[in-house]
Chains A and B, each alone.
Chain A
Amino acid sequence: MMSRWNFLAAIGRIFISFLNSTGHLILFTATALRHVVLPPFFLRITFQQMLRIGYFSLPVVGLTAIFTGAVLALQIYIGGSRFNAEGFVGQVVVISMVRELGPVLAALMLAGRVSSAIAAEIGTMRVTEQIDALTTLATNPFKYLVAPRLIAATLTLPLLVLVADIIGVMGGFLAATQRLGLNAGIYMKTTLDVLQLEDVTSGLTKAAVFGFLIALMGCYHGYNSKGGAQGVGAATTDAVVSASILILLFNYVLTDFFFS
């Protein structure tokens, strides 16, 4: 009998701690958003962050996209050949790349590259009292650290995904023409014919949301890290894991939204 109550108590504790951290995160997000929209803005820092988050992520995102596009082409060819649909490789590659894989894979790569870096940087600033020092120098850490990163990631991720889309389609094109021997002219024509503006805009909207989530998770876990090197390590891991899960969760929510 007793053990059953212990079991229920454990569930209750987990539930309460879940509500607690959710509330904490919502308050953090609300404060961050207020500082994103209200002046003063730190334009120079925002620009630096755009460079760090966007420009320096180009190689990683580009490599991910080209191999994904190429693999897609091969797999769709194999699958399609089972019901005589080999001719649809171009169409399926472009739609899956632009609507789905471009945004999601670029975002997951950036969760690893950017969310972790933000969490480690802000976390170290927290445990070495640099965030307190900012406050005592009458500079709001949300304004100075969090807002520029949120703005930069939200603006740059769509641009990165646009690049990833193009490179991914290129990868598919290369695999289809070089490995599968499909006709280059026909491949390009079918690709462009099937593509609709809505495919691109829905993908880029996803990218903007993912960018926001990546920076938010990095800032949130870094800002709340405690306990020295180990705490910063834990914050970094939490940032990457939570950013990745939120990306996949919001990917479904947004896809469902665009679907209807």
Chain B
Amino acid sequence: MAQTQDTPKIAVSGLYKRFGGNQVLAGIDLEIGRGKSVVIIGGSGSGKSVTLKCILGLIKPDSGSIRIDGRESTGLSGTEREQVLARVGMLFQAAALFDSMSVWENVAFGLMQRQRMPAELAREKALAAMAKVGLEAGLADLNPAELSGGMQKRVGLARAIAPEPEILFFDEPTTGLDPIMSGIINELIIERVRELGATALTITHDMKSARRIADTIAMIYQGRIIWCGPADSIDECGEPHVEQFIRAKSEGPIALDVLRA
């Protein structure tokens, strides 16, 4: 298994996935370099989430290859899959906190289950992770349902970073948050990813967030990556689909399935 500095951390090629009669992914190709932050943008239903879930192994693609550290991961299951996932952290769109557990147990879950850490030490580590996302220790014993949306997102972020993963995934990290909280979450993501030296993949349709977080932006449309380039060059990309998306124009090549009277 050749693993050099040049091997991309995540390399996706020719990814196809169909649900019933709906071809969701039609040949996704994407490379994410070690320590880089890539943001995938695209409209609802364009295949962003499915791409992310395929890389995580939550959905099995129909065909194509996903290599993590140069190693094929599409066919993995059981212990091998868990070994891959042990190096991954994920922040879910609605945080997906375990509502049967307290806040600190949520954050410490990976440490206790995956790394078999004793509860006391795990609680300490959980409090440290919570501090890094600006959550006070006083919140540790609350139930996640008692927290606001922004707080829940931060607990989700703390849970993702607590086991110090090499790869972080963010699913719509700012969706449903007010602009100030969105800004805070963006900054936290940048800081934590940098501190861990992690590779990050974010999917979003929030352009402000994408510009802030990304080294590279990739735009997905109808199950394909139609443009991929450095975040600061996206305004001059000249690709009409991307132009329409980032300027939020209703007229353009992307025709949404809106019924017009």
Residue of B56, B57, B90, B96 touching A130 (CB-CB under 8 A): B96
Residue of B82, B94, B110 touching A140 (CB-CB under 8 A): B82
Whether B92 pairs with A137 at a CB distance below 8 angstroms is no
Whether B114 pairs with A137 at a CB distance below 8 angstroms is yes
Chain A residues lying within 8 Å of B99, measured Cβ to Cβ, are 130
A89, B226: Cα distance in complex, Å:
81
A138, B93: Cα distance in complex, Å:
19
A138, B89: Cα distance in complex, Å:
10
A136, B132: Cα distance in complex, Å:
21
Chain A residues lying within 8 Å of B53, measured Cβ to Cβ, are 132
Chain B residues lying within 8 Å of A128, measured Cβ to Cβ, are 94, 96
Chain A residues lying within 8 Å of B96, measured Cβ to Cβ, are 128-130, 132-133
Chain A residues lying within 8 Å of B255, measured Cβ to Cβ, are none
Instruction: Give the one of A129, A134, A136, A140 with max B CB within 10 A.
Output: A136
Whether B98 pairs with A130 at a CB distance below 8 angstroms is yes
A137, B162: Cα distance in complex, Å:
11
Interface string of A166-178 (1 = CB under 8 A from B): 0000000000000
Q: How many residues of B contact A (CB 8 A)?
A: 24
Whether A138 pairs with B94 at a CB distance below 8 angstroms is no
- Whether, in the assembled complex, A183 has its beta carbon less than 8 Å from a beta carbon of chain B, the answer is no
- Whether, in the assembled complex, A22 has its beta carbon less than 8 Å from a beta carbon of chain B, the answer is no
- Whether, in the assembled complex, A139 has its beta carbon less than 8 Å from a beta carbon of chain B, the answer is yes
Whether B85 pairs with A138 at a CB distance below 8 angstroms is yes
Residue of A129, A130, A136 touching B85 (CB-CB under 8 A): A136
Given contacts A137-B114, A139-B113, A139-B114, contact A132 B92 (CB under 8 A): yes
Whether B90 pairs with A133 at a CB distance below 8 angstroms is yes
Whether A133 pairs with B92 at a CB distance below 8 angstroms is yes
A126, B159: Cα distance in complex, Å:
19
Shortest B147–chain A CB gap in Å is 14
- Whether, in the assembled complex, B181 has its beta carbon less than 8 Å from a beta carbon of chain A, the answer is no
Chain B residues lying within 8 Å of A134, measured Cβ to Cβ, are 98
Chain B residues lying within 8 Å of A130, measured Cβ to Cβ, are 96-99
Whether B92 pairs with A138 at a CB distance below 8 angstroms is no
A128, B93: Cα distance in complex, Å:
9
Within B167-224, the residues touching A (CB, 8 Å) are 169
- Whether, in the assembled complex, A75 has its beta carbon less than 8 Å from a beta carbon of chain B, the answer is no
Chain A residues lying within 8 Å of B109, measured Cβ to Cβ, are 137, 139
Given contacts A128-B94, A129-B92, A129-B93, contact A136 B56 (CB under 8 A): yes
List 9 additional A-B contacts (Cβ < 8 Å) besides A128-B96, A136-B88: A129-B94, A130-B97, A132-B96, A136-B58, A137-B110, A137-B163, A138-B85, A139-B109, A139-B113
Could you list 5 examples of A-B contacts with CB < 8 Å? A128-B94, A132-B92, A137-B109, A137-B113, A138-B114
Binding site for A on B (CB under 8 A): 53, 56-58, 82, 85-86, 88-90, 92-94, 96-99, 109-110, 113-114, 159, 163, 169
Give the top 6 A-B pairs by smallest Cβ distance, nearest first.
A129-B96, A133-B96, A136-B90, A138-B85, A138-B114, A137-B110
